Amino acid sequence: MNAIPRPDNEASFHADPVSRQTFNEVMVPTYAPSDMVPVRAQGLDLWDQQGKQYLDLTAGIAVTGLGHSHPAVVEALRAQADKLWHVGNGYTNEPVLQLARALTEATFADRAFFCNSGAEANEAAFKLARKYAHTKFGPHKSRIVSCVNSFHGRTLFTVSIGGQPKYTEGFEPLPEQLSHVPFNDIEAARAAIDDDVCAVVVEPVQGEGGVLPADPAYLKALREFCDARGALLIFDEVQCGMGRTGKLFAYMGYDVTPDILTSAKALGNGYPVAAMLTTESIAAAFSVGSHGTTYGGNPLAATVALRVLQIVNTPAFLARVNQAAELLVGKLNGVVRDYPQIFSLVRGSGLMLGMVLADSYRGKAKDIIKAAEAQGLMVLIAGPDVVRLLPALVISDAQIDEGIARMRAALDALVTPQ
């Protein structure tokens, strides 16, 4: 068989120059990106089109947990790219079976379903919960309870369950049989979880809602309420999982086991892949054809995710996450003490941290983000009142010191009259 001919004009592979202005010309306006355009990165270092270096403490919103272009992950992807890219779901493949076995051996789960994003993993979890309840108890058991200010994705179903009106306005009518209760409120949960509830979903650490860890007593109470009412407990660990809290998954630090767990983001270190994990008896509610996805668990994604899991799920790696978190929290508390007019406290879990703004600075989180970027520091917001830090889990002590120095420089620029 003849090889595929190469194009005569090799220059056709090179794209025309683009800038931030190009975004406004060609993209659907669902985002408001920074003016700077990243072009390359390694570890926690990132460079823009002008060659300016930034220290990235966002990890692509908790995605690149091993940092940008981790050599072991890059090598795994390259090796698989020479073998098999994709097959339809009428076939399985070796990498996805290896990944499923590794995840089930590492967690409470017996079965795994793979897809492309956290929203899809949660969509699968919610569909499974309703299917399981319908099969076991009947159609009356369909209500899903979630928390106010939670975030579970951007599909119509998942964004409705998220409980943040700003994400659902204009998309009505919304799916029905959904209830929202305050996070960490045991009595509100007790009142909401009745016999018609098929599932309760919670983030062990709320991310978009302000970097709020769940109280251990709250998660234990949810487990008890679900058991008493025959409802499933779903943990959304899309943002807080894969080592982010110092455990492989956050539930392992709470001594509370969910019935279904969702994972994405850092699972692929930037390659789109997500997983829904559950038990054998619950998984049996799905049958052939009852759910699916074209790309979920394709060989490239599964290979990358397996390599990431192998790196993260070791005692030494997770111990270092906890060590780095302790150092970073201590440094951030020092910033809070020195800038009380801007910050009031630091909260979070592991390397998932939020700096809560003081009353006098409420609503100005984006101002701090812009000031930090001017100093070559990338950080995030979690609502208008919280500055969020989600550094790669491989952050060094020196990078922590550098990040704090750049943060202080940014704050000095804000509080010093120009």
The strand order across the sheet containing 197-202 reads 111-115, 274-278, 260-263, 232-236, 197-202, 143-147, 178-181
Cα dist from 278 to 79, 108, 260, whole Å: 30, 8, 5
pLDDT score at 17: 82
Q: How far apart are CA 110 and CA 130, in angstroms?
A: 19
Task: Find out whether 409 and 367 touch, Cβ atoms under 8 Å.
Answer: no
Instruction: Characterize 343-359 residue by residue with b for buried, 16 or more Cβ atoms within 10 angstroms of its Cβ, and e for exposed.
Output: bbebbbbbbbbbbbbbe
pLDDT score at 73: 98
Q: Would you give the end-to-end CA distance of the chain in angstroms?
A: 70
Instruction: List, in order of start, the domains of the chain with CATH numbers.
Output: 10-63+315-415 (3.90.1150.10), 72-312 (3.40.640.10)
HSE-up of 164 (CA within 13 Å, CB side)? Answer: 18
Q: Which of these, 228, 229, 249, 270, lies nearest to 140 by C-alpha position?
A: 229
Q: How far apart are CA 324 and CA 397, in angstroms?
A: 7
Q: Which of these, 295, 307, 205, lies nearest to 266 by C-alpha position?
A: 307
pLDDT score at 11: 46
Q: How far apart are CA 155 and CA 161, in angstroms?
A: 10
pLDDT score at 390: 98
Tens of pLDDT, residue by residue, the chain (418 residues): 455 555 555 444 556 789 889 999 999 999 999 999 999 999 999 999 999 999 999 999 999 999 999 999 999 999 999 999 999 989 999 999 999 999 999 999 999 999 999 999 999 999 999 999 999 999 999 999 999 999 999 999 999 999 889 999 999 999 999 999 999 999 999 999 999 999 999 999 999 999 999 999 999 999 999 999 999 999 999 999 999 999 999 999 999 999 999 999 999 999 999 999 999 999 999 999 999 999 998 999 999 999 999 999 999 999 999 999 999 999 999 999 999 999 999 999 999 999 999 999 999 999 999 999 999 999 999 999 999 999 999 999 999 999 999 999 999 999 875 5
Q: How far apart are CA 41 and CA 17, in angstroms?
A: 19
Q: How far apart are CA 62 and CA 266, in angstroms?
A: 6
pLDDT score at 416: 78
3-state DSSP helix/strand/coil % of the chain, to nearest 5:
40, 20, 40
